Structure 1
């Protein structure tokens, strides 16, 4: 009879608004709290120099830390600091999808859309991929063409020791779509996987997704970060809804389904090393 695998020694964390797990020298924490209050919003707006999203969970975070000193965090305000604030940033979607955009603006019931055109990227598009505060240079991420996330390992029916989802910010774009930044973490006995996802839907115009995945197999010294950007027009994405769905557009609200339909625009794999 084959020997049963030895279960991973781990400790679950539950402290006020923080949940997490400690395993194999790693500590994973997810902090969930309410949206920023008015004073915090004023401070964040002044610091960033742009109006912040309608729902900003500025005190939420997901963090992973190793006993070697490696530390990576995912938070809303550093992500928003990467939003384009150039003088032409608010015109980028109009340039790429001019006909759809101007047709939408010309609709009588959408006149308020002009209110969101400001000298910053009002879609809050960000390619934020985490804040790395690790002390050693090798613990910073560097491009590595031969590295990859072990998809086959992730497909195994291993038990999930810890799972959590967290919203960092969300905005409905003046009722014309949604922009949302979320984290998901899954910890198994052999590895962990983190997904940071920026999901953008501008109704009748476009879909855009920027994903950052962090993967680590325990008892190795390699952390893999995979970043990818996907984008397509709203019309082309909607056309991919199965005919069996009829007029049901609910799939367009599902970021996982939308992601599976969008062509990849760019991707990069990076690696950081533990001591």
Structure 2
């Protein structure tokens, strides 16, 4: 029997209220020119081509736990060190970087610093919780229950939300998205940064947030997957021939990339 729940639907917001949880996904248009000016000046870097700075996904519990996912805090974590724009090179990366900086300099009051032009970010959400124990800490005992997630339970609510996307001047793609799935017994959030630099590499930063209803714990798992473009392309089944469409599928690419880093943390809804 499904837990008592209520679907939420507004002009730009949809979500679900279930037990003591509220999950909201807000979607609207890309930032306007004034918002772009402000965001670019605040961040100090040219922002992605498609920036949904007002979009967000939030999960909130009546006890005071709240986690939010937004584009601008994610972009604030993009590397701006002196060598950042040289970490990944393509045939005309330097020329593109210079042209892009010049095109956006009217939006920035200071001199534009080098930055990671792939927009790689290990952002894993903004914790707005009201109590210290509701912030995530390393755990040796908590895990995401994969068996529960793979059961054929009904999905009460599902949503995808794009936070930002950039085609890297036709050199590939960088995209940050959220997905959320709420079942009668649990929910799962996936924040994914997906990077494809053609003929260079693939990179995926995943953050999964899991909670089983009736428990006191929220689990967060963060992982880094990365491999060369050549080796990933070589894993396309031969039956596909010259069809490279799998390289556009972040789920397939994720299944092929080796894990470089992984950590798991947990937060408590209330102190025991």
TM-score, with structure 2 as normaliser: 0.92
1:55 to 2:11 alignment: no
1:188 is aligned, of 183, 191, 202, to 183
Residue aligned with 1:174, SS: helix
- Deviation for aligned residue 1:42: 0.3
CA 91–45 in structure 1, closer or farther in 2 if over 3 Å, else same: same
Residue aligned with 1:252, SS: helix
User: Which runs of no fewer than 5 residues in structure 1 stay unpaired?
Assistant: 1-5, 95-100, 106-110
Residue aligned with 1:184, SS: strand
C-alpha separation in 2, matches of 1:257 and 1:115: 29
1:15 to 2:10 alignment: yes
- Deviation for aligned residue 1:135: 1.3
2:249 is aligned, of 254, 260, 275, to 254
1:151 is aligned, of 146, 150, 154, to 146
- Deviation for aligned residue 1:113: 6.1
- Deviation for aligned residue 1:112: 7.1
Q: What pairs up with 1:71-220 in 2 under 5 angstroms?
A: 71-94=66-89, 101=90, 105=91, 111=92, 114-116=95-97, 119-220=114-215
Query: What CA deviation, in whole Å up to 9, does each residue of 1:65-106 have, x standing for no partner?
Result: 000000000000000000000001111124xxxxxx4xxx1x
1:68 to 2:63 alignment: yes
Alignment root-mean-square deviation, CA: 1.1
C-alpha separation in 1, matches of 2:43 and 2:231: 34
1:26 to 2:21 alignment: yes
- Deviation for aligned residue 1:15: 1.3
TM-score, with structure 1 as normaliser: 0.91
- Deviation for aligned residue 1:116: 2.3
Is this contact kept in 2: 1:113–1:174, CA < 8 A? no
Residue aligned with 2:170, SS: coil
User: Which runs of no fewer than 5 residues in structure 2 stay unpaired?
Assistant: 99-112
C-alpha separation in 1, matches of 2:116 and 2:155: 38
Q: Which residue of 2 aligns with 1:264?
A: 259
CA 112–83 in structure 1, closer or farther in 2 if over 3 Å, else same: closer
Is this contact kept in 2: 1:116–1:174, CA < 8 A? no
C-alpha separation in 2, matches of 1:208 and 1:120: 17
C-alpha separation in 2, matches of 1:165 and 1:112: 31
